[in-house]
Amino acid sequence: MWRIPPRSAASACSGSAARAGRTGAWRLRWPEQARHRGRSGCSRPRTRLLSKARGRGARQGGCEMKFGMLIALVAVASAACSRQPAAPPATAGATTVYTHARIYTVDDGQPWAEAMAVTDGRIVAIGSAADVAAQIGERTAVIDLGGRMVMPGIHDTHVHPTDAGIGETIECRFRTDQLAEVLATLQGCLGKLEPGQWLRGGQWNDGLFAGSNRMPKEILDEIAPDHPVFLMDWTVHNAWVNSAALRFFGIDQTTPNPAGGVIVRNPATGEANGILLDNAAYVNRRRLPEYPLEQRVVALRWALDQVAAHGITTFRDAIVTTSTMAAYQELYRRGELVLNANTSLTWKSAWASSHDEEIALIGARRKFASERINTDFAKIMLDGIPPTYTAAMLEPYRPNAAFGDAWTGKLMLEPDELRDDVVRLDADGLTVKIHATGDRSARVALDAFEAARRSNGDRGPIHEVSHAELIHPDDVPRFAKLRVAAEMCPILWYPIPGLDWEAWLGPERKVWAVRSLVESGALVTYGSDWPVVPTVNPWPGIEAMVTRADPAGASKATLWPEQAIDLATTIRIFTHNGAVANKVGDSSGSLVPGKNADFIVLDRNIFEVPITDVGETQVLMLVVRGSEVVNKL
């Protein structure tokens, strides 16, 4: 995971719409187009109706959902343009008709519509207002949207709602890089704790330690001598701890680095200085006391309210352990899980209490599945991140005092081990998401997916290279060939102060090759990685994928602008492509008859405002399977 700290169309009948300083590895700095219009065409869009003969489709529900039994809802033939008469309504008509709207369908056959009819949570008709009016019966609720834009709901394929909720509702969080302010916040939190209780929280960056002659642990020792302290950094890869925590973990001068992690030490004495990188943080984090189930449920509920408010109808929790899964199941049992949830179960991760726990959870995943929760996903961590020089690279990083001039990072799993794991998980029907932020780790991930295709055949699940910001040009075509999704996550595809790619990698290596991947035929998807970024809001990322510029306007620079793509392609990435990666491409991601009524109503037509205004888009309504979850109209 990464963390970015916070900063002090006309209707148509046809056509296509279209971030190291003096102490080396732990010096992490705090990161401080043309108008696009919809195409116009004939005066009214054609109407598409759900064939009554097909009946209602649904994914298999219940706690005993069978593996692989995600039954696609089938879209049937379109009626022609307005020349063809509308079908007569049933006596009751549709449940709801949304009319007088600008509906962007993400369907090449009919990009725009004016009205949409919904019955039993599915779209049964979409097209002109006049033709969809035929679906209005005596009990039909008719909602006039007043010309507002409608589009499919966003699919976020990489987010951490439980972590986000715990951070905001339980832990001590600070959003500043001023040490005095951080210490004041921590002291306030300490005043609420029982003697000896853990102080947990985070969002620090190494700028806090600039100019200090004390080791990081000593800063915490001064304010919390009697409380163990564990604070994650802005990347959620590294921890800042005090001496009490180090004693609890048994870390001293003789403790070796764990595989895939670093215990940062005083170079003169070898004493642990209080900074734990990557797996050194993770393996110790899992030894902390577990939060009670009710606290986790409250945290998850809070987080999902934020997810819904920003237009996300379907999401993938990218790190799910047994305790996280229990929170989802409890929220579902209470009838409070109103979004579509997908869970990536950890594999050989330091986040879980043990690998045996992971094996047991994957083996029992079906009992947690329901019509709202799909558990057929897995997550593997393969490397770290570029800012800490822990992402695995094909060529060395730029020379650094801590690592020298030949350091290329390190994999968390050996290639042969990863290959065997992926082949096994693929055979079990699990979509495998591999965290790979370096170009070497991305290549090794692709090699593992290729081995799975050779062993198990080409018809297995679509797998994913998570983050995918550094892809060697030779590997770009392999995504489409191997049916592997390139997940763009988190929103870092514009210049951000403190994220100095060139300082780490040099000017030759470029990041976020979105256009190249799209043009190669790869399935490109979107993930927020929240709370790695300060908000789950996708709209600034949509704007920046088109402009490659800072949506906040703090910088006038662009980041590899040749990789910009148009707005229609961006929306497809955030909707349809995410649905495909989430295994619901046949029932979500576009607005066509037969698919679930998962859509959002916006405060602006994003195709008719300047692209620099898209990042400010607000969601006025969010509907999931025909039920209103958010309504600000």
Candidates 257, 282, 276; CA nearest to 354 is 282
Q: In degrees rounded to 5, what are phi and psi of residue 201?
A: 165, -145
For domain 156-160+293-588, the CATH class is alpha beta
Average pLDDT for 65-92: 36
Beta bridge mates, 433? 379, 464
Residue range 499-517, pLDDT digits in tens: 889 999 999 999 999 999 9
pLDDT at 68: 32
Cα gap 429→342, rounded to integer Å: 14
Mean pLDDT of all residues in 491-496: 92
pLDDT in tens, 468-479: 999 999 999 999
DSSP per residue over 377-435, as a string?
EEEEE----GGGT-S--SSPPSPBTTTBTS-----SS-HHHHHHHHHHHHHTTPEEEEE
Tokens describing residue 596: 């679930």
Q: Is the pLDDT of residue 99 over 90?
A: yes
Nearest to 44 by CA among 118, 131, 164: 131
pLDDT at 51: 33
Please tell us whether the domain made up of 9-18+33-153+591-633 is placed in CATH 3.40.640.10. no
Compute and round to an integer the Cα radius of gyration of the chain: 25
Match 């870092």 to its residue by tokens.
Answer: 492
Domain boundaries, the chain: 9-18+33-153+591-633, 156-160+293-588, 171-285
Cβ atoms of 319 and 351 within 8 Å: the answer is yes
Output the six-digit token pair for 520: 């190669």
How would CATH label the architecture of 171-285?
A: Roll (3.10)
- Calculate the average pLDDT of the chain: 87
Comparing 363 with 3, which gets the higher pLDDT? 363
Q: How large is the average pLDDT for residues 356-377?
A: 97
Average pLDDT of the residues in 523-552 = 97
> How sure is the predictor about 91, in pLDDT bands with cuts at 50, 70 and 90?
low
* 71 pLDDT higher than 60: no
Q: What is the tens place of the pLDDT at every residue in 212-258?
A: 889 999 999 999 999 999 999 888 889 999 999 999 999 999 999 99
Cα–Cα distance, 470 to 570 (Å, whole number) = 19
Q: Which residue has the higher pLDDT, 187 or 41?
A: 187
Q: b/e map of 36-53 (b: 16 or more CB within 10 Å)?
A: bebbebeebbbbbbbeee
